[in-house]
Structure 1
């Protein structure tokens, strides 16, 4: 019975996230943080940051990848399947309804007005996710009693600035930046354990 309850919790939690994850990508991260990290305690904030990084290196939307990772961590492979199904169910149903509606009514000018209204809210969600994830990347500890200059992760800051420069100035493909970051992380880890 306990096993069934955890699967049900996974499904319902990711169903809720899927229902309100307008904007996709990083816009869903504050919801994942609130439901998965803060309310359920299934993963830590640093694990969420790691999942986000890994999700960038794997195909598919971040919310679905996060659902799969969290589901596997909480309840094994079947938990990953259940969480993923919960995550995609709302958009699957909504897309079927929208596709039907769209092909029946080609004059959807008011849908554009709705989307224009959603954009500012989605931008703010993405900014919140960027600030939260950025904080976990640039600070060594979340214990802010340590003087902040001693608490900064300088290699991560330099790496982020270089990546940002390459993305903006030279339009380097994001996949190359992601894999380069992973390679730099491996090299940095190898150097620090020697």
Structure 2
């Protein structure tokens, strides 16, 4: 049954998805698009965009929308799709909830020991790798087109990507404003 698969899949993602929501995106995409085939790459990309625009953590928002879309694509009705979104969200959050209760008790006792400090230092490169993987997975043909197929769309997509990166990283423009600017530029230039 799809609900058990959703729970198991998102529980594992919640268990092994270090680095927050953006770190989980590559795991969510792999499981929902490639392993189970619940979503297409285009649907996943739309889900990520919507998850970034709606309030709340992007990983949890993505799980909610992925659960809904997966059950809906399986042919269940809207009520069951809502249950799918609740299942995926609960399963994603549950491991963190359990681990935080356990870790909080342990951390308060051992937080100043060298072993704990070294563990946290060791996790940093893994988190950076997961964030890089999420970025690279979104840099595909469906999001940027290709120079051979549509040079205009490819050029505009790359220019918007670079402008958004420069705007948020070096010019310190609010990311929400940059999303709005990029959306407006995409509408004007690509349609």
TM-score bracket relative to the smaller structure? 0.7 to 0.9
Name the counterpart of 1:138: 144
1:40 and 2:33 are equivalent in the alignment: no
Residues 88-131 of structure 1 show CA distances to partners (whole Å, capped at 9, x for unaligned) of 00000001111122234443432221121121122122112211
Following the alignment from structure 1 to structure 2, what is the Cα–Cα distance between the partners of residues 179 and 101?
Answer: 43
1:18 and 2:14 are equivalent in the alignment: yes
Quick check: 84-93 or 73-82, which moved more?
A: 73-82
Following the alignment from structure 1 to structure 2, what is the Cα–Cα distance between the partners of residues 19 and 67?
Answer: 14
Following the alignment from structure 1 to structure 2, what is the Cα–Cα distance between the partners of residues 8 and 69?
Answer: 17
Unpaired runs of 5+ residues, structure 2, are: 72-80
TM alignment of 1:14-163, pairs within 5 A: 14-75=10-71, 76-135=81-140, 136-139=142-145, 147=148, 150=151, 153-163=154-164
What is the deviation of 1:77? 0.9
Following the alignment from structure 2 to structure 1, what is the Cα–Cα distance between the partners of residues 48 and 18?
Answer: 17
Asked if structure 2 preserves the Cα contact closer than 8 Å seen for 1:15 and 1:89, the reply is yes
Asked if structure 2 preserves the Cα contact closer than 8 Å seen for 1:56 and 1:178, the reply is no
Asked if structure 2 preserves the Cα contact closer than 8 Å seen for 1:42 and 1:74, the reply is yes
Q: How many residues align?
A: 181
Following the alignment from structure 2 to structure 1, what is the Cα–Cα distance between the partners of residues 70 and 181?
Answer: 30
Residues 165-185 of structure 1 show CA distances to partners (whole Å, capped at 9, x for unaligned) of 211332001111122223333
Q: CA RMSD in A?
A: 2.2
Following the alignment from structure 1 to structure 2, what is the Cα–Cα distance between the partners of residues 54 and 164?
Answer: 19
Q: TM-score, normalized by length of structure 1?
A: 0.83
Unpaired runs of 5+ residues, structure 1, are: 141-145
